[in-house]
Structure 1
Amino acid sequence: MATNPGSGTRATILVVDDTPESLRFLTSTLEHAGMTVLIAVDGLAALDLLEHVTPDLVLMDAVMPGLDGFKTTRRIKSDSRFRHLPVIFMTGLTETEHVVHGLEAGGVDYVHKPIVVDELLARVSVHLANARVAQGSQLALDTAGRPSFAIDDAGATIWLTPLATATIERLFPGWASRDGRLPGQLAAVVEHLQQPGVPPGAQASLKVAESAVECTFLRQSGADQWLFRLTERREGDAERLLAERHGLTSREAEVLVWISRGKQNREISEILHISPRTVNKHLEQIFVKMGVENRASATAIAVATLSQ
């Protein structure tokens, strides 16, 4: 599975070229500009490298023996993992049809050989910035309707969904999104989830007033963007949700919550201070209202409801 090479804001550029002189020139130029350079001497080598690392941008020689730059780019763009990966073609070809061919293959720009350093660096800089904005926008769309946010390696906020901003402002009075950083307590939880080896889906929580705030690490995208989702849980939320969704009474919803947590009738009777017989009567009504025949089915539906 492809992973991002390194951390911080240092951009990683994959250069695909079969000419040693070009590789030396481009490596020197890009490294001098503060970028990390990866090298592939042909299209197949580039595809193999992308299975292990994901660069921020690709400089692709259009004309190479075997799998040329156009075909290689088509292969790259056919993989959903690299949909937003910008590819700039490098070529001595100047005919309009070649430019069109490159754009149709998925390229975002062209630089002509012999390469002019200032022009190359300007184009690389522009497309790196555009890719970052596009990727951030896509992530925001992916999390629409949920309180989500992205931060960089240093903990500075890159973007927040409107719901995340409203949630954090309500839970942490005095905080404003213009601060550029998360509130201290939340920042500490997020920093814990940014430690090496923490897998996507990992969660950490903190208590804020009457709420339990759960932070979920969704993924790291790009060299310096970490995506998280917030979930606020308050006492009684689960019961209210189950009652509303399935037409249950408050007591039936309480029984169903504990059923979904794997508790048996006798344990539930002790927790709710009612007899096991009463628990069983509530269960019978729960089955009827949910249209199920047994405890396992009710549990499955309850878990699915609460996980939404």
Structure 2
Amino acid sequence: MSKPINNVVLVVDDSPESLGMLNVALNTAGYTALVALNGLQALSIAEKVEPDIVLMDAIMPELDGFETCKRFKHLFPSIPVIFMTGLTDSEDVVKGFEAGGVDYVTKPISTDEVLARIKAHLNTAKLALSAQSALDHAGKNVFCIDNNGQLAWATPHVYQLIEEIYPNQDSPWTQLESILQDWIKQGDLAPLALDNTTPVVQVMYERKQDELHLIRLAKAKIQRTAKDLQQALPITKREAEVLYWLAQAKTNWEISQILEMSPRTANKHLEQVFKKLEVDNRTAAAAIAIRILEGS
């Protein structure tokens, strides 16, 4: 199995001494360090191996750090750039931020401070990417309509889903348009279930955006019961009921109260469940039940 690559830090500095010191500190801290002596070399390296973060010297010959940062952010807008500079005037600090930098450290460099800044900004960048990923995922089934139910725009996933719901119609949106128009005019905007869909597809109101309504399509979750556990597993009706409440994080005493049995009887049923499912603890049994209950 190949070893996963560590976070890559691109260090751009025309001083070999600074590069050497930072290279050692970064490698010791578990990072993969790439080094460049000038801005053009840094851009060339980044196109071959995309870094996770950049340490950028502000003052370099030919192409200074500010201009290099502008070009770099054009290519890699989400990668953070930390400036290293001996310039402490507020004008130069502002210039660094305007170029796209997220932070700066002053020379002479403190490796402990640099490592702390790198760690903080890597975490922030990862959170930002996670948030963007979540937004992308959430937006897959989103579309906009006007007050008459007419479509303004929709993501490709919505078009695909609507065609699946109305497979034999040349203009599936025509039928949906009247349904949505009535729904909007009703005003309560509770989730609307579309007919003839398995699993059920619901129309969910998100918010009003200018004169348009932002709508999301979502597949309704199937409410599974103890009966589903009994059908999927080699257990009795009563054992399935006990297992169902175990999957809801209930204790033996709580299960006994819900099912109107003694705690000892509940425990005996669980012992039989463990035996039949070939597990030896509550957590393993609950995990099996949850997979079934949350399955599509």
TM-score (norm 1): 0.47
Q: Taking CA–CA contacts closer than 8 Å with sequence separation of 6 or more, which of the two structures ends up with the larger relative contact order? A: 1
TM-score (norm 2): 0.48
Q: Which has the larger radius of gyration?
A: 2
